[in-house]
Amino acid sequence: MLEPARWGSLELPNRTFMPPMGTHTANADGTISAAGVAYLVARARGGVGLLITESIQTQDVYDLPTGSTISLTHDRHVAPLRDAVAEVHRAGGLISANLTPGLGRIMPGGPGGLPPFSASDCPTLMDPGVRCRALSTEQVEDILDRFRAATRRALACGFDAIDLHGHTGYLTDQFLSSVWNTRTDRFGGDVRGRATFATEMIRIVREEGGADFPLSMRISVRQGFPGGRTPEEARELAVILQDAGLDVLLVDAGSYEAIDYSFPSYYMGDGVYLPDAEVVKPVLRIPVAVNGNLTPDLAEQTLAAGTADFVGFGRMVIADPDLVRKVAEGRAAQVRPCIRCNELCIGNVVAGKALGCSVNPEAAQEATRVLLPTPVVRAVTVVGGGPGGLEAARVAAERGHKVDLYERGPRLGGVLEPAATPEFKRELHRMVDWWEGEMARLGVTVHLGHEVTADAPELTDADAVVVATGSTPWAPPVPGADGLSAVHVLDFHRGAHVGPRVVVCGGGLSGADAALELALDGHDVTIVEAAPQIAADMVVHNRVALLRRLAEVGARVLTGHRVTAIGDGTVVCEGPDGVVELAADTALLAFGVRPDRALPDALADRPATHVVGDCVQPSKVGDAIHAGYAAGAAI
């Protein structure tokens, strides 16, 4: 992974790359922002072999302008982006411009309040009852002319390479697809005809940048819907693109019709796109690049096996920009892991907000969130060893404070420790391991099995206190909820026995994940949820994967039903059609939690006290980590 390699004519210091990922940090006029520059520079300093930018718009006539997205549609966009490229170079990095000709049918609407344009008259993504406007031959040629102008601007910016956006069902992929492209002109027909739009872009880059200018493109080998791309077609397409002048082929899978594959969560496991690399690698002369839930160890195995020639880290370098440098320096254990939650990276961008990261509060805020050494060393007591407390302790110690952390349980991690029992959530274990390593590296004194009360000397002697006491399980007053057949979800994760037939009472995130874990282990599982759907507050990409996995393992889901009683061998529910009685050896209680307010309330008047995490309001892990970061930075 750390060996130099050639990306076309470009010599990379290693075989790693950062794939294109949207950040929504650009200025409203399409120029790159200070936040966007700092984000790229941090990853250049971190040792990534080649950075590929987020998608850069090359035309704004046939798509509605997308806010907070970098653009090269006008000359005014060049100077700020040229300065950004120079900053990346000064940081020791190399950078490729990811150019996109448009979104097409993915857009909710098109210019003039009319439906979006696409390769053909096909259904829009947002409303299949609405048909796209088919681009005329003249309009396609106009898009290519605008692409040429944008390519010239990219070259003027000083980019080291260009990458073409050709995957996930955006406009180029719409031309490549037999489902979305039914044209009869030169941009349609068989695989080669449908590839004409892409090969024309390749020709344009070659004409503008020269025969040796490094050029790559990403395609989705498996699109994941009926009529989508087959392996045979993917191989044929890959060869066509290679022969047209491509230097490197990037591969992935999925589409907006199979969104969980395009943005793989923890449910998808490691190396999601390795099968796609294996499809095209044998038929190509040019290198293949792959990413998708790779770890450094798996990346090394991928290269050693010859599955791919370059390995990409996307969300991994959002979580830790220094990943490659740490591995190169023998500090792989210090790499902060991505937990594949998709909450603040993809979730934020889809919601139109700037990219963030659950485990790295500095992500895309490197320009403003800088931890400075403290001018006065203080004695800091942190009460609670969950994610909020651990992050507060880490940040305070990083700044130079003397930190003692007290955890009443036998292990660090808080609710993460039991929640990480399923194999698909093992990244949470890695996160706790990382914090433990950071506590040791930074000299934080950790006290396990130590309960702290409001009048304890650990608090009275401290200059500053962070309270992160978490939450306690809650259940409604359901008859039988305290019976022998009822087991709380956290107790299950800690090893409590459950029978072969399990009714999970509550379909939030913890209940749904526990149900999947149980079903994977062979239990007969039913989820009962009062709301209209389970895991309602989960980011949609993950939720699609969760529902797919639950269906695959045969778990049943009963929504719109309220648990009214738990008996010996039964769980009674009430829904719109009356009472339902479910056979159950175990009722797994996942109704939720409530803040543990005892210590925060007792210390309400104490100065220099910060309260973070679930003891404020039960929420997601990223919220606790960000609150802990803010507390540690404020001391």
Residue pLDDT, tens place only, 535-549:
999 999 999 999 999
| pLDDT of 478 | 95
pLDDT in tens, 570-606: 999 999 999 999 999 999 999 999 999 999 999 999 9
| Contact yes or no for 535/507 (Cβ under 8 A) | yes
pLDDT of 418 > 90? The answer is: no
Q: Where in the chain is the domain with CATH 3.50.50.60?
A: 486-591
Which residue do the tokens 């020791």 mark? 92
pLDDT of 167 higher than 80: yes
Domain 379-472+594-634 has CATH 3.40.50.720: yes
Superfamily of 5-350 according to CATH:
Aldolase class I (3.20.20.70)
Specify the amino acid at residue 566. Answer: I
Token duo for residue 165: 């956006």
In 492-520, which positions are buried (b, 16+ CB within 10 angstroms) versus exposed (e)?
A: bbeeeebeebbbbbbbbbbbbbbbbbbbb
Q: pLDDT value at position 67?
A: 73
What is d(CA 550, CA 555) in angstroms, rounded to the nearest whole number?
Answer: 5
The pLDDT value recorded for residue 513 is 96
- Convert the pLDDT of each residue in 471-501 to its tens digit: 999 999 999 999 989 999 999 999 999 999 9
Catalytic residue among 170, 267, 406, 629: 170
Strand partners, 381: 404, 465
Contact 403, 489 (CB under 8 A): no
Q: What is the 3-state secondary structure (H, E, C) of 72-107?
A: CCCHHHHHHHHHHHHHHHHCCCCEEEEEECCCHHHC
Six token digits for residue 121: 């008259």
Q: How far apart are CA 142 and CA 285, in angstroms?
A: 32
Q: How far is it, in rounded angstroms, from Cα 463 to Cα 443?
A: 18
pLDDT score, position 348: 95
pLDDT at 68: 86
Among residues 510, 535, 324, 323, the alpha carbon closest in space to that of 428 is found at 510
Secondary structure (3-state) at 29: coil
Q: What percent of the chain has pLDDT over 90?
A: 97
Q: Rounded to an integer, what is the distance from CA 187 to the centroid of its chain?
A: 34
Partners of 406 in the β-ladder = 383, 447
Asked if residues 64 and 110 have their Cβ atoms less than 8 Å apart, the reply is yes
**Closest residue by Cα to residue 414 from 392, 441, 395:** 392
Architecture of domain 486-591 in this structure: 3-Layer(bba) Sandwich (3.50)
Model confidence at 512: pLDDT above 80? yes
Q: Give ranges for CATH 3.40.50.720 in the chain.
A: 379-472+594-634
Q: How far apart are alpha carbons 351 and 96 in whole angstroms?
A: 26
464 - beta bridge partners? 380
Structure tokens at 106: 């993915």
Distance CA 193, CA 183 (A): 9
170 catalytically annotated = yes
Residue 239: φ, ψ to 5°? -65, -40
- Grade residue 229 by pLDDT with cuts at 50, 70 and 90: very high
pLDDT band at 463 (very low <50, low <70, confident <90, very high): very high
Please identify which residue in the block is written with the tokens 């206190």: 465
Q: Mean pLDDT across the chain, nearest whole number?
A: 97
C-alpha distances out from residue 109 to 104, 117, 165, 491, Å: 9, 9, 21, 49
> Could you give the CA distance from residue 573 to residue 562 in angstroms, rounded to a whole number?
5
CATH 3.20.20.70 domain position(s) in the chain: 5-350
Query: Which of 166, 124, 117, 113 lies closest to 140 in space, CA to CA?
Result: 117
> Do 442 and 373 meet the contact criterion of CB atoms below 8 Å apart?
no
